[in-house]
Every structure is written in structure tokens, then in C-alpha cells.
Structure 1
Amino acid sequence: MLLMAVALFLPGFLLHTAPRFPGSLIGSLLGIIAALLFVLLLAFSLAKRIPWLKRRASLSAMLTFHVYAGAIGAVFGILHTGHTYQSPLGITLIVAMLVVVLSGFVGRHYLARIGNDIRAQRVELGTLRTRYDAIAGGIASMLKGGSIRTAAAGPLDVPVPTLVAGIADLEDSIGGREALKRTLSRWVVAHIVAALVLYPLLALHIWSGIYYGLRWLP
């Protein structure tokens, strides 16, 4: 839902601009909230890497917070921009933010869903192969016993071509999903690189806002 909100806000860059909004009181508050949420994202990274934090923190709960804070931060960050293209720094910051959020979504949800689908398809494939092996074994036994007529009649009640086609389709589907999973497994690289770009840009953006003055202050 939050990612859908981000996707719906993006076309606003083409339809609406408010150059003075980012420096206004409301615009600044939205930017501050977005910045705080993205700073809080570091808590999960620290908890994973610091032993005493890892023992005391619930990584599952922190991961959930990590995901939602990133998505909500992206929404506030896009609202903060006022849909302006005036600042190269701001545009680069938005792009890095979106890469962080979308790559995190791929790793947290989409890859997990693909893994579940592959496991379910492997179970189904195993069932079909077991059925096929049983049919093939029955045919071999009947042929060995010389009952050619029975061997010929028996398989007619079983949709062997459909069974074989189902096995082939599942094998192709599993292969395709595994290839996609291998490709998307590089999400963590994009996630880390984008984060390494994001935080220095965020610090520079905050500094420039303070340095050039906040218009809403008296």
C-alpha cells in the first residue's frame, strides 16, 4: 500500500510544481520527518552487526519497522520536494531514496514470495514424478510378465501425455523462477550502495538547508 502511494506521488513531478513549498514550514516538517525515519533505519543495521544489541533486540520486529519506516519516509520525502527539479542534490537524493526503498522491498517481500512459489512447485513436481514413476513401473511389470494387452489397456485410463506435459511445464517454470531469483538476489548490493549514497547526500541536504536559511523562521 505504501509503495503504491509512492508510485502515485511520482507523476506529480510532471503535473505540479511548488518551488517554495520545500522551504515552507509544512514542507520543512515533512522533510524533517522523512530524514528522521531514514536515520532510524540504521537501527536495524546496527542491531544486526553489534553482538550485544543483537542479543537484546527482536530482529524480526526491527526488520518490520525498517521496512515500514523506509516506505513512510519515502512518502514524506516525495511530499517534501514540492515536485520541483531545481536542485540536482535533491533529485539525486530522491533517486537514491527510491532505490533504497524498492530494493528493500524486493529483498523483503518479492524474493520471499518467489522462494515460497518455488518450494510449492517442487512439491507438486515431486507428486507428478511419483505418479509418473508408478505408471512407468506398472507398464514395465506388465511387459515383463508378457501381458501386452493389459499393458496396452492399462495406461489408457491415465492421462500420461497430460502428466508429462505438466512435469515439463513445472520444470520450465521452476527454472525461470530460479533464474529470476538469482538475478534479484543481488538486491542487497543495490540496497547497500544506494544507502551509502543516500546518507551523505541527506547530510549535505540538511546542511545546505540550514546554511542558506529556513524561510519559515522569524
Structure 2
Amino acid sequence: MPEVSETERLTVGALISVMALLIPGFLLHEAPRFPGSLAGSLLGIAGATLFVLLLIYSLVKRSAWIRGRVTKHASLRVILSFHVYTGVVGALLGILHSGHTFQSPLGIGLVSAMLAVVLSGFVGRYYLAQIGTDLREQQTRLGALRTRYDLLAAEATGVIPQGAAAVVLPGTAPGSSVPRASGAGVPGIPLKHLLGAIADLEHAIGRREALKRTLSRWTVLHVAAALVLYPLLALHIWNGIYFGLRWLP
């Protein structure tokens, strides 16, 4: 998966926050006639169009023939960013189109599927990527702390580990040195605090790895929600046309 830019992550996170604030708006405001009005219909049509455009990324990703032709004009990263923004903006328009009138089972099911698609996509694209970055940083720190512990133990017994080199640690007096494996780079830490830091990091890494394993199933939820969303969207559009568009003359 293409790497995530910080600007994109913050922008999409802000849009999802706005969407999350709009959802419970029915507690303060309801407009039962708005979805069928001209403005409401235009919002609904725009939102439905954006959700149909979401399929472009799926087609490009799964069809080598289509990917070979489309990526000549736009990279997969650009198409994925378009997919992300389209989904979030489409969901926002869908919430606005509803007029905060969540009464019919069809409408509730459609909104629920729409939110499941958007939120599962956000988890996979941004949250899991951030967890992976944090895990790598913590594992690097843990490796450095373990190296420091091994070297302290070796110093106490007078046995220098194979490949270790005597280097000056930050904060020590000039000329003093301790054995250090190449790349350790961790300043001297009291043994008690060092063991505590290692234990804390191991616990934190274990929890993050468990969370990452749990959330790694986001693709299944994302695809399942999409398979529910599109039939409901088609039924909603047919329902609106069948019962008439009030804004037409």
C-alpha cells in the first residue's frame, strides 16, 4: 500500500471528525422533507455519484489490464487518495442529504453501511499504518535497551560480547568508556530503571501487536460493508424515483 502523507492523514481525520459530529445532529435538528427537496436531492445525487466512483480504485487494483492503462495517467497512490477523499466526502453528503431523519430501516441500514465502509477504510489506511510506525519505533528502542543491558551485564562479569566496541557514552567523563555493540547509542541508565523500561516496552509492544492483529481484519469488514452498501444504495435510489421526486414540476 502506498505510504501515507501527514497532510492527507490530518485532512481525512478532520473530515471524519466533522462527519462524526453531524451524525447525532438529529437530537437537535430534524428536517423530514429535506431529503426529497431539490437541495436535498442534489446532495443525495452527488453523494451517490461519489460512492459509485469509489469502485474505480477497486477495478484498478484488481484488474491488471485496467491498471496498466490507468496508471499511465495517474499513479496508484493518486487513485488511492482520490478513493479516500471521495468516500469521506460522499459520506458527509449522505449525512446532510438525510436531513437527520433516520426513521426508515432502509435509510438506517444505508447510513450504517456507509459509515462502516468509511471508518473501516480509515482504520486500514491511517490508524493501522500509525500503529505499525509506533511498533517499529518501540522495537528499535527495546533493542537498544536490551543491548545496553547485555553490555552492563558483560561489564560486570568482565566478558565483552562478540562485536562490541569501547565507546564513550553521552554524559560520561572524557576518557571513560564502556563496551557497546555497534549502533546501541543508549546513554547509561541505572540497572533498576533499565529493567523497568524494558518490561514496560515489552508490555506496550505486546498490546500494540494484539491490537494490530485484531484490526488487521479491517479489509474483511470494509469489503463486507461495501457489498451491503451498494445494493442498499441502488434500492434507495429506486425507492426515491418510484415514489416520485417532489421537486420535479
* Count of aligned residue pairs for this structure pair: 205
The alpha carbon displacement at 1:86 in A equals 3.0
CA distance in 2, matches of 1:68, 1:75: 11
SS of the counterpart of 2:36?
coil
1:140: how far off? 1.2
Partner of 1:30: 43
Aligned to 1:180: 211
Q: Provide Cα deviations, 1:6-31, integer angstroms capped at 9, x if missing partner.
A: 01101212221111000000000000
Please name the residue that 1:133 is paired with.
150
User: Could you say if the C-alpha distance between residues 53 and 167 of structure 1 is closer, same or farther in structure 2, counting changes exceeding 3 Å?
Assistant: same
Match for residue 12 of structure 1?
25
Between structures 1 and 2, the one with greater helix share? 1
Which SS does the other structure have where 1:80 is aligned? Answer: helix
Which residue in 1 is equivalent to 2:125? 108
Q: Distance in 1 between matches of 2:27 and 2:56?
A: 35
Q: Distance in 2 between matches of 1:42 and 1:88?
A: 25
Deviation at 1:52, TM superposition (A): 1.9
CA shift digits 1:154-206 (9 cap, x unpaired): 9xx85011011111111000000000000001111111110000000000100
Cα deviation, 1:113-143, whole Å, max 9, x if unaligned, reads 000000000111111111111111111117x
Q: How many Å separate the matches in 2 of 1:46 and 1:203?
A: 19
Partner of 1:64: 81
Letter in 2 for 1:135: L
Match of 1:151 in 2: none
Residue equivalent to 1:89? 106
Tell whether 2:66 aligns with 1:49: no
Letter in 1 for 2:191: V
* Structure 2: unaligned runs, 5 residues or longer: 1-13, 160-177, 179-187
Displacement of 1:111 in angstroms is 0.2
Letter in 2 for 1:198: L
- Once the two structures are TM-superposed, the CA of residue 59 in structure 1 deviates from its matched residue by 1.4
Once residues 63 and 189 of structure 2 are traced to their aligned partners in structure 1, the CA distance between those partners, rounded to angstroms, is 59
Indicate the residue corresponding to 2:236 in structure 1.
205
> In the alignment, residue 176 of structure 1 is paired with which amino acid?
R
Aligned partners of 2:100, 2:152: CA distance in 1, in Å?
65
Equivalent position amino acid for 1:180 in 2: L
Answering whether residue 53 of structure 2 is matched by residue 40 of structure 1, we say yes
Ranges of 4+ aligned residues in structure 1 off by more than 6 Å? none
Return the alpha-carbon distance in structure 2 between the equivalents of residues 217 and 130 of structure 1.
74
Letter in 2 for 1:92: G
SS at 1:10 equivalent:
helix
Distance, in Å, in 1 between the alignment partners of 2:80 and 2:91 is: 17
- RMSD over aligned CA atoms reads 1.3
Instruction: Please name the residue that 1:146 is paired with.
Output: none
TM (norm. structure 2) is: 0.80
- Match of residue 192 from structure 2: 161
Amino acid at match of 1:20: R
Identity, % of aligned positions: 65
Q: What letter corresponds to residue 152 of structure 2 in structure 1? A: I
Cα 1:177/1:158, change in 2 over 3 Å: closer
Q: Distance in 2 between matches of 1:159 and 1:181?
A: 32
Distance 1:158 1:91, change over 3 A: closer
